[in-house]
Amino acid sequence: MKQKIVFPRFDAELNTDVCDAYNNAELTLTVRMGFSQINPAAGADEGTYHDYGNAAKPARKIIKWTPATWKAWKDTFCSSVQAFWSDKFWLINDAGSFLYTAKDAQVYVPNVWCRLKVIGQEGAAANNHHSIDVVRLHPSVKWFGSHEHLYDSKDINSVEKNRDSHGKKVMQQAHVHEFGHILGLGHVDIGKAHCPASGDTNASACYGVSDVDMNSVMGSGMQLRLEHAAPWREAVRAFSVGEVFSGSASPIDLLMPLARLVVGGNTLFAVWPAKMKRHYPRTSAEAAAGTLITAPPKRGAK
Amino acid sequence: MNTGAKISLTAILGAACLTVAIAVLLTGGANAGKAKKEDCSMDAISQSICVYRLILDDIDAKVTMRGGGGVTSIIQKSDDLFEARLAQEGHEDIRSYQMDLTDGDKPKIKAVTESTKSY
């Protein structure tokens, strides 16, 4: 079965048709990105554009987009973001949701594989989840002041963002970091004393003070962490609770969580812990025992 | 050694001496850096340069976010208050410097406060 829930930041689709004794359910978040060109004024080949789109800030040299460079940039944006964020997390099914009977007649508790699909379309499209304007920088320009709705052509490059305690460069591709925000993720150090959630969470300290935090993709680096599975966890909880209300599972599962404990969990209190390694579907007994299966298990007939 | 060779050697030695003399004049000799530091109170320009150097040295020593657009401005907000802006993706880091200018010879940084301007 394929089910869909529309969230403000993305559409989520849960596919349990792919489930068998070895394969988990797939949860795909789809983000429609709208792209609009910013070109030099009056059709000129070259011009300038100010950092952050603010006339009081430095003007940078820009050049006109061509159809080929525009298409290449959008394609690279979408493919590189998708390659970075998709297929990296598995959510452990501690809710006992989405049970299915495989061909070996065994009932399985599927985990959830977290996938991402990024669709690039015109900036004016009505159904975009997020839209950005993009300037094409002159080859001589090394940097431009971007923000969440204003990018530059070099934002897909890996550039030095920070220096760790050993003086080592911490590199980042800005668009990959920004896409984390599009998914709903905040900066790595939000909530710590040097980056209170009540303050401006764009302060440099929020990008990570310790070397470990600095290297997070939601800091100044490119490392994924388990907490970055939060958007998929949010979505799967909605499907899990929705399963009960839609009649796919009994409402008694919500009222009497103990009923779910026979397969190791219940819908309301489920955490859906994230892992960064494939975890295979479990039998009810394995789920109840809390067993995690990371190597291909021996199952009955496929 | 023939006469031509003697003339060439003399010319080379002369050129070398001239080069050294020009270098000494330009740098002010070995004490050039020290002399400049002690001249902070000579005039307004000297003191300004000392203050801006202190701010730039502080930024160089303290700021780890080396990427972005760098230092885009340092402006004087009041007699002893200066503000440096560092451009980053999506925001500017603002470092406000309270200076101690009571000893004209040796301006000091009294306090630094950090803030952020998001875009």
Interface predicted TM-score (ipTM)? 0.84
Reported as a pLDDT band with limits 50, 70 and 90, residue A260 is low
Q: What is the pLDDT of residue A265?
A: 62
| CB-side neighbour CA atoms (13 Å) of A112 | 33
Question: Which among A216, A221, A160, A159 is positioned nearest to A188, based on CA atoms?
Answer: A216
Question: Which among A217, A214, A140, A228 is positioned nearest to A183, based on CA atoms?
Answer: A228
Enumerate the residues of chain B whose CB falls inside 8 A of the CB of residue A159.
67
Contact state of A51 with B87 under an 8 Å Cβ cutoff: yes
d(CA A229, CA A208): 19
Q: Shortest Cα distance from A192 to chain B (angstroms)?
A: 16
- State yes or no: pLDDT of A270 exceeds 90: no
List of E strands, A69-149 = 89-91, 100-101, 107-109, 112-122, 130-137
Least CB–CB distance from A160: residue in B66, B118, B119: B66
> What count of CB pairs under 8 Å joins A to B?
72
Q: Does A168 touch chain B (CB under 8 A)?
A: no
d(CA B67, CA B28): 35
Enumerate the residues of chain A whose CB falls inside 8 A of the CB of residue B114.
203-205
Residues A206-228 have pLDDT tens digits of: 999 999 999 999 999 999 999 99
d(CA A153, CA A3): 36
d(CA A195, CA A181): 17
Enumerate the residues of chain B whose CB falls inside 8 A of the CB of residue A148.
90
Instruction: Pinpoint the alpha helices (H) of chain A.
Output: 67-85, 174-183, 211-214, 230-245, 252-255, 258-261, 284-288
Return the CATH number of B39-118, one of 1.25.40, 3.40.50, 2.60.40, 3.10.450.
3.10.450
Closest residue on chain A to B91 (Cα): A202
Pick the range with the lowest mean pLDDT from A181-185, A246-250, A288-292, B105-109. Answer: A246-250
Contact state of B87 with A174 under an 8 Å Cβ cutoff: no
| Amino acid of residue B45 | I
d(CA B95, CA B75): 11
Q: Shortest Cα distance from B62 to chain A (angstroms)?
A: 11
Enumerate the residues of chain A whose CB falls inside 8 A of the CB of residue B62.
none
Residue that wins the pLDDT comparison between B2 and A294: A294
Least CB–CB distance from A163: residue in B66, B89, B90: B66
Enumerate the residues of chain B whose CB falls inside 8 A of the CB of residue A203.
91, 93, 114-116
Q: What is the pLDDT of residue B42?
A: 76
Q: What is the pLDDT of residue A243?
A: 81
What average pLDDT score do residues A171-178 get? 97
Domain ranges of chain A: 2-288
Q: Does B1 touch chain A (CB under 8 A)?
A: no
DSSP A182-206: HHT---TTTTSTTS-TTS-TTSGGG
Q: What is the pLDDT of residue A220?
A: 97
Question: Which among A45, A58, A55 is positioned nearest to A138, based on CA atoms?
Answer: A45
What average pLDDT score do residues A18-38 get? 97
Q: Does B62 touch chain A (CB under 8 A)?
A: no
Q: How far apart are the two ends of chain B, measured CA to CA in Å?
A: 75
- State yes or no: pLDDT of A119 exceeds 80: yes
Average model confidence (pLDDT) for chain A?
93
pLDDT in tens, chain B (119 residues): 444 445 554 555 555 544 544 444 444 444 433 434 557 877 889 999 999 999 999 999 999 999 999 999 999 999 999 999 999 999 999 999 999 999 878 899 999 999 999 99
Say which residues have a Cβ less than 8 Å from residue A136's Cβ, sequence separation at least 6: A37, A38, A39, A62, A63, A64, A65, A69, A73, A152, A153
| CB-side neighbour CA atoms (13 Å) of B107 | 27
- State yes or no: pLDDT of A258 exceeds 50: no
Contact state of A160 with B88 under an 8 Å Cβ cutoff: no
* Beta bridge pairs of residue B97: B82, B112
Closest residue on chain B to A210 (Cα): B64
Least CB–CB distance from A163: residue in B64, B87, B91: B64
* Residue that the structure tokens 């001239």 belong to: B18
d(CA A297, CA A106): 13
| CB-side neighbour CA atoms (13 Å) of A69 | 15
Structure tokens at A54: 């603010």
Question: Which among A24, A12, A58 is positioned nearest to A235, based on CA atoms?
Answer: A12
